[in-house]
Structure 1
Amino acid sequence: MSRRQLFGSLCAMVFLVNLARVIYAPLLVPLQQTFGVTEATLGIITALAWFGSASPRFPAGYLLTKTSRMTVVVGSGVLLTGSALLAAVAPSVRVIMVGAFCMGLASGPYFIAAGPLLSELFPRRVGRVLGVHGAASQFAAVGAAPFVIAVLAFGSWRATFYVIAAVTAAVTVAIYLVGRRTALPEAGRADRDLLGAARAQWRIIVAGIAFVSLTGFVWNGVFNFYVIYMMQAKSLSEPMANALLTVLFASGIPAFVVGGDLAERLPTVPFIIGISVAFALSLLALTSVSGLVAVVALTAVVGFVVHCLFPATDTYILGSVPDQHRASTYAVFSGTMMLPQAGGSIAFGVVRDAGFGWDPLTRGAALVLLLAMGGLFGLYADGRLPATGAPVKH
């Protein structure tokens, strides 16, 4: 029972750490109105949350060779509480940028610690558990826009960060208390050599980065600007555009569960490549329609397909790497693949400021992604991409 309670507490925490990363997307319009900044600057703000999430993952992986996963999880909650308070009182756009980076910074160690912990708590259902955990994370993305709309109806955008800080503090205390009375697994205690694990598992790390980085780069640019994209390219009102952002993320809730389950049952590498291909094709379709019904339907398809990628890739890494290397391998993979993803919104903002339209920009990104996935499938067919991690050599 205590493991289930801990799992529930971790699902609450992953909701909050993901909310911290995605909350800036629905806040772009009020932030632009408050500080009078360009779209390129808005892209930097959203990117900083993702750069923050990526930057501590190598140090977090090293930290896990010295301390427990639970210590890192609790520390992440403390950091998120403080950084949300910083964003709430920000007097300038520069402080907002610092707050965005620090809120993202809190999420990085959490994911590095929680993924291996969950795979060890429930070793027989890695894909399902990671999928449900991911779905809990996705509820934050779904609720971000409605949450912001509700807050703005009654007060300032700053209140969003005060609420995040208060709830995170409560959940952090709950995790600490539940963790103290839970018998934690010992599977990862032999994982004490970050660089040794990276050297042993470099092939699956590189493959995982290749699978998710470019797709994540495009996705980061798309979802962070989705409200503005819908308003400017599809001529939708701001409330309708925010509603579509909610649809984009809501369709990811079942996708996490489905993606995790299918990753356990299907050949993982072709499944992951197929997800990225389907994502690119759905973006191409989105750029070619203008009617509201078609835009809503394709928004749901785009969101569902891309969110299948994340539990599938995590299952590919965590489900096939031996205990002695699991957390270290995941830290190296996760920290590296996050960096190129984080630049997606900056690239989209810069290209937009250069005068490119939203539909041509999205169409070009989708075509590049298709070419890249074609190359990866060729490598797989030639036997150059690993299906599992390397065994431990004794």
Structure 2
Amino acid sequence: MGEKKTRVGGQTFRFENFESEPSLDSTVFSANGRSIGARTGVFGSLCVLVFLVNFARVVYAPLLEPFRAAFGVSEAAVGLLATLVWIGSAAPRFPTGYLLTRYPRHRIVLGSGLVLAGASAIAAAAPSFGTLAAATVLVGVGSGVYFVAASPLIGQLYPDQVGRAIGIHGTASQVAAVVAPGFVGVVLALHRWPFAAWRGIFVLLSLAALGSAILFWLAARRSTITGPQELDLDMRVALVAHWRLILSGIAVVGLAGLVWNGVFNFYVTYLIEAKGLSSGNARTALTVVFAAGVPAFWAAGVVADRLRFVPLMLAILAVFVGSMLSLVAVQSLVPVLLVSAILGFVIHSLFPATDTYILASLPAEHSGSGYAVFSGAMMPIQAIGSVVVGVLVDSGLSYDVVFTALSLGVAVLTAGLFGLALLGRVPSGTNG
């Protein structure tokens, strides 16, 4: 029995009977003589949730044709669904940052899982295309809320290994992008559903999201992350105190993410039109890109814990530029596949490295709100990538010219950041 007082940002929190609280490493589950610590239980449930969250975002692409057939709408209309899910993902970033100043992170994560479960259920039962579109936006909203709340929560769970934890978490997310097309194909091939097979996918997703959210909540309640000390301070305060760090993160990942968003959305079309590949080989190359991202998340997270942030991020940007220019230069299938693997590994290394840079460098009282500012500003920049590429190509420019110009833009930005880093104007981060 005892009393403990903690002062955070001018506010004093009092904890009574703190000696009886379980630690992050206390046992919460036991099976076959093996115990699972509270921290491991929370993190494991987060990895399951992020798999489902990202699966829900990427599952729309292979379902566009079933949607078109089911509702009798145009290709442009079903194509809008893939856009709506990403718009929904970007929209709640800043509002979630505000919520994190009022509610604990684990409650926001729980809410995101419930939103995903509910939105998936609505999609499964959608009687019209309009209802499906509304559910799609909600699916995106759930994912956006999740990432803003879960990322600082991971930093709270593993303050000394933020990069490794972010990398493993990102790996779980990327696995969803790889397996989604194959899973959809298997489910659509089954003819035992009492309703359309695509509806069955959303039924399964809804049930899985609900179950995972409940498991997360049970694990969270048995750990110390439910304490009031995890509340974030005001977003404006976080921005004023750490604007250089946040702006540096946006500069590193914003333009590169824009370019990447435009590239992968047109990847198959580009390889068919510019490289003369068959549609099957072009889709294989895109699969290689995403598959290469699976080990990239883990590796970059581990490396980010050990190397200085700024040189690491600038090196990744430089290799990304080289990979993009190589993609423009190569022609035959084997070189395209090789460059695709390198490109996929490099760009998916940038995301955990930048997230670790932000999360490891922000103090605990600003990690949620500060990350929300970073994510909320960065996501809209990346989201317009496909629009930028599409408009430039429609204006008469070739894909090669567009990709080269955008790559050179990233090169100029990288050189500028390098110069600022030499002058000490780019925050080095906590391990820098």
The normalised TM-score by structure 1 is 0.89
**Total equivalences in the alignment:** 387
Unaligned stretches of 5+ residues in structure 2: 1-36, 192-196
My pick for the range that moved more, 330-339 or 171-180, is 171-180
Question: Who is 1:36 aligned against?
Answer: 74
My pick for the range that moved more, 341-350 or 300-309, is 341-350
Unaligned stretches of 5+ residues in structure 1: 390-394
Question: How far 1:341 moved relative to its partner?
Answer: 0.7
In 2, Cα distance between equivalents of 1:351 and 1:43: 19
Equivalent runs, 1:60-209 vs 2, <5 Å = 60-89=96-125, 96-154=132-190, 156-184=197-225, 188-189=229-230, 191-209=232-250
In 1, Cα distance between equivalents of 2:201 and 2:267: 20
C-alpha RMSD of matched pairs (Å)? 2.5
Encode CA deviations 1:156-175: one digit per residue, 9 max, x unaligned.
Answer: 54544333223212211221
In 2, Cα distance between equivalents of 1:188 and 1:219: 38
In 2, Cα distance between equivalents of 1:167 and 1:100: 17
Classify 1:229/1:46 alpha carbon distance in 2 versus 1 (closer, same or farther; 3 Å): farther
Question: How far 1:192 moved relative to its partner?
Answer: 2.6
Encode CA deviations 1:250-274: one digit per residue, 9 max, x unaligned.
Answer: 1111111111122222221121122
In 2, Cα distance between equivalents of 1:42 and 1:270: 42
Question: Who is 1:350 aligned against?
Answer: 391
Question: Who is 2:356 aligned against?
Answer: 315
For the Cα contact (< 8 Å) 1:14–1:137, is it kept in 2? yes
AA aligned to 2:58 is V
AA aligned to 1:234 is K
Question: Who is 1:283 aligned against?
Answer: 324
For the Cα contact (< 8 Å) 2:60–2:82, is it kept in 1? yes
In 1, Cα distance between equivalents of 2:78 and 2:396: 16
For the Cα contact (< 8 Å) 1:227–1:245, is it kept in 2? yes
Encode CA deviations 1:71-95: one digit per residue, 9 max, x unaligned.
Answer: 1111101111222234445566655
Give the number of the structure with larger relative contact order, counting CA–CA contacts within 8 Å between residues 6 or more apart.
Answer: 1
AA aligned to 1:367 is L
AA aligned to 1:77 is G
In 2, Cα distance between equivalents of 1:93 and 1:225: 25
SS of the equivalent of 1:265 reads coil
Structure having the higher Rg = 2
Question: Who is 1:23 aligned against?
Answer: 59
Q: Which of residues 282, 286, 301 is equivalent to 2:342?
A: 301
In 2, Cα distance between equivalents of 1:185 and 1:35: 46
My pick for the range that moved more, 260-269 or 3-12, is 260-269
Question: Who is 2:419 aligned against?
Answer: 378
For the Cα contact (< 8 Å) 1:46–1:345, is it kept in 2? no
Classify 1:323/1:213 alpha carbon distance in 2 versus 1 (closer, same or farther; 3 Å): same
For the Cα contact (< 8 Å) 1:51–1:338, is it kept in 2? no
Classify 1:22/1:276 alpha carbon distance in 2 versus 1 (closer, same or farther; 3 Å): farther
Question: Who is 2:264 aligned against?
Answer: 223
Question: How far 1:186 moved relative to its partner?
Answer: 5.0
Question: How far 1:235 moved relative to its partner?
Answer: 3.8
In 2, Cα distance between equivalents of 1:139 and 1:329: 28
Question: Who is 2:296 aligned against?
Answer: 255
For the Cα contact (< 8 Å) 1:47–1:346, is it kept in 2? no
For the Cα contact (< 8 Å) 1:52–1:102, is it kept in 2? yes
Q: Which of residues 237, 254, 260 is equivalent to 1:213?
A: 254
AA aligned to 1:280 is V
In 1, Cα distance between equivalents of 2:321 and 2:61: 21
For the Cα contact (< 8 Å) 1:25–1:223, is it kept in 2? no
Classify 1:241/1:170 alpha carbon distance in 2 versus 1 (closer, same or farther; 3 Å): farther
Question: How far 1:245 moved relative to its partner?
Answer: 2.4
Question: Who is 2:310 aligned against?
Answer: 269
Classify 1:247/1:333 alpha carbon distance in 2 versus 1 (closer, same or farther; 3 Å): same
In 2, Cα distance between equivalents of 1:195 and 1:119: 21
For the Cα contact (< 8 Å) 2:64–2:79, is it kept in 1? no
Question: Who is 1:392 aligned against?
Answer: none
In 2, Cα distance between equivalents of 1:77 and 1:217: 27
In 1, Cα distance between equivalents of 2:428 and 2:360: 11
Higher helix share: 1
